[in-house]
């Protein structure tokens, strides 16, 4: 509940410090006194729009601060933790400032925060009903929760949500397994390609060196042929060939050795050299005779070398590395294993859970439709007591794909006489909307237990017995919630537990709004004024006192 509210330099408010208790509180005062400004201040600390226009003339910034307690009753601690806001107590302080430049600064328990975070957190703290766009009942997504609470459908709804969670978990598992299988298949395809590429090349150890040598010979065949022919001619074929000349030298040395034995060794050496040179000439002859210019073979060898170089870039620096890679690929292929059986098993389980969830969701939908008919009737009864006999309350339920909430989209709608149903947010009158919301809240008060409910303009266009009906419902709501109401009607004001009087006063050369909490006698005087104007007669005073006593007595009885 809201325990304290501080407002500084907002519109015509210079500074207000208000303290509240639980129960039903009303704000009364002359038209234009500034009652709506207090509601605007509460709107600011629940994430409402704020601009520099609201800053009091001559001031630098507007500051609004609300202190809430008993936040454990509405389960806010987990939500606060999600936004990094820690609290060791059961207290929450929201402070918002807006300066002349329109800059907003927002703190929740001293932590700088955002409007979106405030909207989320404050949705369970304060609910403003009037012309304020962010009130809970105007949000379509809350309507299903209200209907389920009315129909006491939490058990079956939780079962649907549980099944839906299992479906999501199975889908996550299935996605991971399918991703793993895809990865293995892609890996297998890659390894198969690598193995096919290596084996298809039919390489052997040392092949690259042999090919390089052959390419060197083939690319220089003409030069080698010329050089070897010249060498053979010099060594053997010419008339004055080396072998022929060496033979003559041998004959001469043999003849000399016959005279001088010391030259015999030289003659033998010459003879040996001649034999060696003849062997060399035979080698040269065979070499030159085998030389062929073969461009096709050269192209083939060059292509083979290019292939081996490409494989080296992919699989290793040497032929040996490539062959070792082939062995590894073969082993990896043997180790890869996957099966579609697990995928199929999960899909079968998902299908079963989907069927179960579908059956439960259908049952939940049927229950919702039954609850909707009952709630429509009860709200219509409430509206008739609030002078809205020609207003029809409709709960529109449409089918949607399965989610954790089931298969229904639920929306509360209003139809005036001979008109099509329309969204609650499109109700033109703030007072009409407030009474519609009051009717709904009266039947669903447990949904907001522990919240602060604020009704603005709820008494617009009503009086007499209808005003009492409105007051009774506001009082009823205050049993489970803190309720604030801005009112002009004495019938409603008389039922309050706390009564605040709002007035404009002159302070120096400025007009400011002041708020005073009334004691019992002051309440009697204010309700008397509301009954008969400023001329408070004894009759009006007596009647005002009786109204307060009567409502107090009725409250004790209830």
Helix and strand numbers, DSSP H then E, in the chain: 17, 15
173 to each of 349, 355, 403, how far by Cα in Å? 12, 19, 19
Other beta carbons within 10 Å of 279: 10
What is the average per-residue pLDDT within 114-142?
Answer: 78
Strand-pair partners of 396: 411
143-188 pLDDT tens trace: 998 899 899 999 999 999 999 999 999 999 999 888 888 888 889 8
What is the average per-residue pLDDT within 36-52?
Answer: 88
Mean of pLDDT over the chain: 87
What is the average per-residue pLDDT within 315-341?
Answer: 87
Residue 134's pLDDT is 46
Q: Confidence class of residue 247 from pLDDT cuts 50, 70 and 90?
A: confident
48 to each of 39, 118, 123, 342, how far by Cα in Å? 11, 9, 11, 52
Listed residue (49, 133, 42) closest to 98, CA to CA:
49
Give burial (CB, 10 Å; 0-12/13-18/19+) of 266: middle
250-288 pLDDT tens trace: 888 888 888 888 888 888 898 898 888 888 889 988 888
Percent of the chain surpassing pLDDT 70: 94
| pLDDT over threshold 90, residue 308 | yes
Q: What tokens appear for 109 in the block?
A: 């328990």
Give the HSE-up count for residue 526: Cα atoms under 13 Å, Cβ half-sphere. Answer: 28
Q: Confidence class of residue 430 from pLDDT cuts 50, 70 and 90?
A: low
For residues 355 and 423, which has the higher predicted lDDT (pLDDT)?
Answer: 355
SS3 482: strand
Query: φ, ψ for residue 231 (rounded to 5)?
Result: -65, -40
335-366 pLDDT tens trace: 887 677 888 899 999 999 999 999 999 999 99
For residues 536 and 187, which has the higher predicted lDDT (pLDDT)?
Answer: 187
């Amino acid at each position: 509940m809201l325990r304290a509210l501080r407002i500084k330099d907002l519109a015509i408010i210079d500074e207000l410090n208000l303290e509240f208790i639980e129960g039903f509180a009303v704000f009364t005062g002359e038209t234009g006194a500034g009652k709506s400004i207090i509601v605007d201040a509460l709107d600011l600390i629940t994430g409402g729009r704020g601009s520099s226009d609201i800053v009091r003339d001559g001031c630098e910034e507007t500051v609004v601060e609300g202190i809430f307690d008993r936040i454990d009753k509405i389960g806010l601690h987990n939500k606060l933790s999600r936004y990094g806001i820690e609290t060791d107590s059961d207290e929450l302080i929201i402070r918002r400032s807006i300066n002349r430049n329109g800059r907003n600064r927002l703190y929740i328990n001293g932590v700088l925060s955002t409007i979106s975070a405030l909207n989320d957190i404050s949705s369970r703290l304060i609910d403003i009903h009037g012309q304020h766009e962010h009130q809970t009942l105007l949000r379509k997504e809350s309507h299903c929760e209200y209907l389920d609470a009315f129909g006491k459908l939490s058990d079956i709804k939780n079962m649907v949500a549980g099944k839906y969670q299992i479906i999501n978990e199975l889908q996550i598992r299935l996605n991971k397994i399918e991703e793993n299988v895809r990865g293995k298949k892609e890996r297998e395809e890659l390894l198969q390609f690598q193995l096919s590429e290596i084996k298809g090349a039919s390489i052997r150890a040392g092949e690259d060196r042999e090919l390089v040598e052959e390419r060197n010979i083939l690319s220089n065949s003409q030069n080698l042929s010329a050089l070897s022919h010249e060498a053979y001619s010099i060594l053997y074929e010419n008339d004055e060939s080396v072998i022929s000349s060496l033979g003559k030298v041998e004959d001469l040395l043999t003849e000399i050795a016959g005279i001088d034995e010391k030259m015999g060794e030289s003659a033998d050496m010459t003879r040996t050299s001649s034999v060696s040179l003849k062997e060399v000439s035979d080698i040269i002859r065979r070499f030159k005779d085998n030389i062929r210019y073969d461009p096709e073979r050269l192209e083939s060898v060059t292509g083979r070398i290019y292939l081996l170089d490409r494989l080296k870039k992919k699989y290793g620096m040497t032929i040996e590395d490539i062959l070792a890679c082939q062995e590894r690929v073969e082993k990896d292929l043997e180790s890869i294993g996957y099966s579609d059986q697990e995928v199929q098993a999960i899909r079968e389980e998902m299908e079963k859970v989907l069927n179960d969830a579908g059956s439960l969701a259908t049952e939940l939908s049927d229950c919702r439709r039954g609850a909707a008919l009952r709630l429509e009737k009860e709200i219509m009864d409430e509206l008739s007591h609030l002078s809205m006999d020609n207003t029809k309350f409709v709960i529109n339920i449409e089918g949607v794909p399965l989610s954790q909430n089931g298969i229904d989209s639920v929306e509360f709608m209003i139809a005036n006489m001979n008109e099509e149903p329309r969204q609650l947010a499109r109700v033109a009158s703030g007072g009409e909307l407030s009474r519609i919301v009051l009717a709904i809240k009266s039947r669903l008060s447990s949904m907001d237990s522990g919240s602060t409910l604020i009704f603005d303009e709820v008494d617009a266009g009503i009086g007499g017995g209808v005003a009492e009906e409105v007051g009774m419902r506001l009082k009823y709501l205050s049993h489970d919630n803190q309720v604030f109401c801005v009112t002009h009607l004495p019938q409603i004001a008389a039922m309050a537990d706390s009564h605040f009087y709002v007035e404009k006063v002159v302070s120096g050369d400025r007009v400011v709004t002041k708020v005073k909490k009334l004691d019992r006698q002051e309440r009697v005087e204010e309700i008397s004024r509301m009954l008969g104007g400023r001329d408070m007669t004894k009759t009006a005073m007596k009647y005002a006192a009786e109204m307060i006593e009567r409502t107090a007595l009725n409250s004790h009885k209830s």
